[in-house]
Amino acid sequence: MTEIFSMEYYADPFPTLARLREHEPVARVSPPFADVDLWLVSRYDDIRALSTDRRLSVDTQLASERFRTSGLAMGIGTAWEKAFVVNPADNVRQRRLVGATLTPRIVEGWTAVITETVSTLLDNLDSDLVQEFGYPLAVTTIGTVLGIRQSDHELLRGWADTATSPDRAASTQALTDALAYIGEQIEIKRKRPADDLLSLLLNASDGDERLDEEEVTAIAGNLLIAATDTTANFFPNAVVALLDHPGQLALLREDPTLVDRAVEEVLRYSNPVVLSPGFRFALEPIELHGTVIPAGGTVGFFLAAANRDPLAYDEPDALRITRATTTHVGFGHGPNHCVGSALARLQGRIGLTGLLERYPRFGIAIDRAELRHRVSPFMYGFDRLPLILG
Ligand code: HEM
């Protein structure tokens, strides 16, 4: 039996996730990389219900000391904790104000920037879809949208890379540097507001509600990090899933208007986020399927398991871009679902359309079995995806 978080698991997590979903829907796990117990939930209905359950909180201040010192969450003890992972009242206020700056209508306004970035990256794509397309598209988009000048995008990419690395000291330093840089940019935007997300966040208001400068700094840092690894991995995952299902790829090439449904199906079938890094903390004991999660327990959602739950989907292990059910939990669910989902979807649509148009015959340049999966408890994707472009 494959151990969770073993190298065998990382190479293909889905059989293990299927076993957990069926036999241990609330699995108590002590991961090899952190001295902490986790209660990992894997069924679709349970994750949706727990995502809106008030007996769970995202406030990292309420997490056990073991969790806070485990290195499992980024930025514990730094200004990073001023955004999103805060008490319910601040969380609701922040989410409302940030959400208003990232609505589908506002995000559509960034179509031209994304289209131009996709086009330039495709012009220069040599082979590796991960490093030469996914990451630069993700960083250029969030950097431009935030209003950061192009010449500093490499800095952003470096911080985003290091912040998500398992080396805690390096990660904390990268977050601290990123937040200090964003603080400087905020000073500039205060003097000269522009038509960008940082300026929108600084001026966001709803009645008496606003975001203070520390919050805007931490929120922008969160947006940068949360937007990078996720979006970057979406494209290799989409291409591999489509190449593994040639009938679906042919269908999409025949009818490009299916692209939005293809994006949703990839987010279900091979979502970049296997296990949500947004842990929840039990405010009181919670019993589920005979397991008691104790008060203070740390709860994690195996989104990739839920997205292939046979009780929620027909033929869950197959990619079907014309599926009737599209309500996946690839962006999470409930009050803490992904705040950048509209921007992620827009990049998915433009990026995938561009790839399909520009390269009508792309294929994997190496043996499929040689593709190396990422070794990450949270992310699903590939280290590299060398393509033959044709
Ligand atoms: C394909 C791309 C993306 C995927 C699959 C994705 C997925 C997710 C997931 C699963 C969560 C956690 C939900 C939970 O625990 O309930 C999340 C949270 C978040 N995402 Fe995304 N995301 C993507 C792109 C983006 C982008 C482009 C942005 C920024 C513009 C972004 C910003 C955030 C933020 C700030 C949070 C934390 C929200 C909170 O804690 O309240 N994400 N995302």
* The pLDDT of residue 387: 98
Q: Identify the residue whose C-alpha is closest to ligand 1 atom 18.
A: 338
Question: 84 CB under 6 A from ligand 1?
Answer: yes
Question: Which of 50, 230, 336 is the best mutation target for the ligand 1 pocket, counting ligand atoms within 8 Å of the beta carbon and taking the most?
Answer: 230
* Amino acid 2: pLDDT: 79
Ligand 1 within 6 A of CB of 279:
no
3 state DSSP class of 363: strand
Most informative mutation of 56, 74, 144, 338 for ligand 1 (most atoms within 8 A of CB): 338
Cα 40 to the center of its chain, rounded Å: 18
Dump the DSSP string for 23-64.
Answer: H-SEEEE--TTSSS-EEEE--HHHHHHHHT-TTEE--GGGS-
Residue with CA closest to ligand 1 atom 31: 340
Say what the pLDDT of residue 259 is: 97
Q: What is the DSSP letter of 137?
A: H
Can you give the pLDDT at residue 1? 73
- Give domain limits for the chain: 7-388
303 lines ligand 1 (CB under 6 A): yes
Q: What is the pLDDT of residue 324?
A: 83
- Name the nearest CA neighbour of 27 among 362, 298, 356: 298
Please identify, by atom number, the ligand 1 atom nearest to the C-alpha of residue 334: 16
Exposure class string for 290-324: b at 16+ Cβ within 10 A, else e: eeebeebbbbbbbbbbbbbbeebbeebeebbbebe
Q: 7-388 has which fold? A: Cytochrome p450 (1.10.630)
Ligand 1 atom nearest to 51, measured from its CA? 16
Please list the pLDDT of the chain residue by residue as tens digits (390 residues). 779 999 999 999 999 999 999 999 999 999 988 899 999 999 999 999 999 999 999 999 999 999 999 889 889 989 999 999 999 899 999 999 999 999 999 999 999 999 999 999 999 999 999 999 999 999 999 999 999 999 999 999 999 999 988 888 999 999 999 999 999 999 999 999 999 999 999 999 999 999 999 999 999 999 999 999 999 999 999 999 999 999 999 999 999 999 999 999 999 999 999 999 999 999 999 999 999 999 999 999 999 999 999 999 999 999 999 998 779 999 999 999 999 999 999 999 999 999 999 999 999 999 999 999 999 999 999 999 999 998
